[in-house]
Amino acid sequence: MDARAALAFFLPDQPVVSIEPLGQGNVNDTWRVTLAGGGRLVLQRLHPHVFPDVAAVMANVRLVTAHLARAAASGLAFFRLVAAPDGRDHCIDAAGCCWRLLTHIDGTRTLASLVTPAQAEAVGDLLGAFHLLTADLDPDLLADPLPDFHVTPRYLAHYDAICRKHSRTNDKRETFCREIVATLRPTATFLENARGQLSRRVIHGDPKAANFLFAAETDRAVSLIDFDTVKPGLVLHDLGDCLRSCCNRVGEHGADPEAIVFDPDMFQALMSGYLRRAAHLLVPADRELLVVAAALISFELGLRFFTDHLEGDRYFKVSRHGDNLHRALVQFHLNRSICWQRGDLERRLAGLLP
């Protein structure tokens, strides 16, 4: 099934003016659809290797978007699922890919990376709003479509299994990655060991910079997109992932990994925005391990990128072999930067906490 065939399933009687690629996601394929009447929608194809339990993913998206639609959130807008005439909100093609159609949030733009503290503060405010708006949604009502997601020791075990099957090369970049993994191995269990003391709730799962929509003309964050990873989880999973993405001004594509720096001013601004909204959601253990979580998620993602590189790029989309190795290097250098600044970051955080 191609994009036009999928649209015929959802909109059998509506002429389409254009279908153009939208965004640069690492997993799904996304298009912006313009209808003859001028309306716009978003068409997506989910990667079957990444999301084998499509029913669980769609059930979560359905539940969370319906909950957000009932919430009074001044100035915020969240996408909704568009159903076909028979009521179905997704279809599966012969290749096992899931297709779905979403409402388009007009007047917005995405940023591959944030460049100002004002943008970081806006992101923190919006992530706090998302956590507040879903605070009364029982996390146990959501399925867990990716049971090992953000369980760092599981990623480490998978990496070890792959390494046993692959011989080492003379690539200095791969050698560096292996050495970093060996050094950071003891940190893999930090959040798992503290899980019983940390806040568990509905989490977004992937609140990276590119998943926040900003108003077209201002630095106001107005929406959070990509709910495929919403699930029961730890607040620190979201905060750690958001911080490691949004406090890297250089971005993750094309940058010199050795030039990557975790920006403390962006950290302070993002946490200022989040705490203004949702400080009361954080228990003492969340506050104590927040900086650790940012470093751990950077390590975890670098580990996932490096493992995918060794496996032949099966999970994350690439334009050429080596892309995932570069992504891994970025995350490992980001982890180093966070660890070097840990004392300063924790002092800044303490100054913001009520």
pLDDT value at residue 70: 76
Residue-wise pLDDT for 97-106, tens only, equals 899 999 999 9
Joined together, the tokens standing for residue 150 give 């953000």
Question: Judging by DSSP bridges, how do beta strands 40-46 and 29-35 pair with one another?
Answer: antiparallel
Residue 19 CB-density burial (10 A; 0-12 exposed, 13-18 middle, 19+ buried): middle
Q: Are 263 and 251 in contact (CB under 8 A)?
A: no
Joined together, the tokens standing for residue 257 give 């990994």
9-27 average pLDDT score: 85
Range with lowest mean pLDDT among 62-71, 124-133, 189-198, 295-304: 62-71
Question: How far is Cα 348 from Cα 343, in angstroms, rounded to an integer?
Answer: 9
Q: Which of 95, 92, 93, 69 is nearest to 80 (CA)?
A: 69
pLDDT value at residue 51: 81
Joined together, the tokens standing for residue 302 give 């670098």
pLDDT value at residue 166: 82
Residue-wise pLDDT for 312-325, tens only, equals 998 888 889 999 99
pLDDT > 90 fraction of the chain, expressed in percent and rounded: 81
Residue-wise pLDDT for 171-183, tens only, equals 999 999 999 999 9
Q: Which residue has the tokens 């070890």?
A: 160
Residue-wise pLDDT for 242-258, tens only, equals 999 999 998 877 678 99
More confident site: 253 or 147: 147
Cβ-proximal residues to 342 (8 Å cutoff; 6+ apart), any chain: 291, 292, 295
344-352 average pLDDT score: 98
pLDDT value at residue 214: 96
* Torsion of the alpha carbons at 143, 67, 200 and 248, rounded to the nearest 10: 100
Computed over every residue of the chain, the mean pLDDT equals 93
pLDDT for 225 beyond 90:
yes
pTM as predicted = 0.94
pLDDT for 26 beyond 80:
no
pLDDT value at residue 72: 60
pLDDT for 58 beyond 90:
yes
Could you give all domains of the chain from N- to C-terminal order, each with its CATH number? 3-106 (3.30.200.20), 110-352 (3.90.1200.10)
Question: How far is Cα 335 from Cα 300, in angstroms, rounded to an integer?
Answer: 10
Question: Judging by DSSP bridges, how do beta strands 212-215 and 221-224 pair with one another?
Answer: antiparallel
